Structure 1
Amino acid sequence: MRRIAGFFLTLVAGSALAVESVMPLDDVAVDVFDKESLRRGAVTYANYCQGCHSLKHLRYSRMAHDLKLEEGVLERDFLRGQAKLQDSMLSAMHAADAERWFGVAPPDLSLIARSRHPDWIYSYLRGFYLDPSRPNGVDNAFFRQVAMPDVFASLQGAQRPVIKKGGGVEAIVGLKHVNQGALPPEEFDGMVADLVNFLVYAAEPAQLDRLRIGKYVIVVLIVLAFVLYRLKQEYWKDIA
């Protein structure tokens, strides 16, 4: 209970400080029917996120079916260690170890795209900047005093905050690269967008069926409404 309370206190404190930032959220295009994007995002999650964060509500088998993953790709990129096809996508890190290293256990990401807007997740993942006063050497423009390290630092490159002072208040108005990462900015942004797209899918895998079937249901309802309207006209024709 104390661990959960500690996490939410950290979340509330970080959110309160993030209000002081005047940086707008960046827009990200989400399309859960883009299977290539989902596959790329899934690989990014497995390589950079799953070490700490689980997706306990998503099974490897469901992901493999929805994303049309070949067996060889699944075994190479996802089924590591003792993981099996029917298992949930869990992190190998123990919560006690994570709390000792980071001060708080990393949250499960199954529903992150429902509790946070995709634009916020996209901005947050690209919003780390150098801060020597923090334990991990970084802070985040959208989640101040964040406990998470910058896992994409080698790909994005280091950033420093652009601070504007006025009325005795300092506010972060932007971020500026200190050095270039391994990926060009456009390619890095695309990688993060794919990851966000995958997290949106992971929050509700059934939406692939719901959205696909939904348009046909609407068409059927429109046709049914038209038939019922004509039937009503026939019934009331003689009465009128």
Structure 2
Amino acid sequence: MKYKRILLKLSGESLMGEQNYGIDPNRLVEYSAEIKSVVDMGVQVAIVIGGGNIYRGMQAEEVGLDRVQGDYMGMLATVINSMALQSALEKINVNTRLLSGINIQQVCEPYIRRRAMRHLEKGRVVIFGAGIGSPYFTTDSAASLRAIEIEADVVLKGTRVDGIYTADPEKDPKATRYTNITFQEVFEKDLNVMDMTAFTLCKENNLPIIVFDMNKKGNLSKVLDGEEIGTLVSMEPTEQPI
């Protein structure tokens, strides 16, 4: 496999499937099967999931809540999603561990870097819940930070689109997709890949990012096989968009 240890970033919204809110059981089954397929290949998998299908911290101020309080509510939403994915994976005999950035001893282990790496070495899927445990940081930032800490080879950002485009492909039919692009070009073109904190962390630590369509069956395995699925963001010179 091209990558031995990966950090898979999933959005909370992706778990909604065809629903408008919450968790779609069918989507959980699909994602679990995709993850199991690469675990069976010997790839070490860590996962960070957002909480936008349940609650976003940035919504707090809109309804008159304190932003910090709202961010902690969002962290708890990510724990709910993480528990759901953990359960779905264990139903198909994938060993998992859920590590949380905030202490919830009844359902999660506390995040300890060495413990997380040991779980990965033993072939367990490690799910990181509750972001980094601090307000004002997104789950994108958590994904980048945890990937760096566990020495992952790549961050795989699973989305509903098949890569990074010159414009929003859902709004602009003339938008074209990049197969490869550099960190610097993303900055210069002001492309929306991750939030700036998360993206800068990856750039400064030379950690490549692949943005791909997680909802297409088999894509995760194809990415790890080295196929040109989605868009690779790295320090290397880019190709032209296709």
* Interval containing the TM-score (normalised by the shorter chain): under 0.3
Taking structure 2 as the reference length, the TM-score comes to 0.23
Taking structure 1 as the reference length, the TM-score comes to 0.23
| Greater C-alpha Rg | 1
Tell me which protein shows more strand as a share of its residues: 2
Tell me which protein shows more helix as a share of its residues: 1
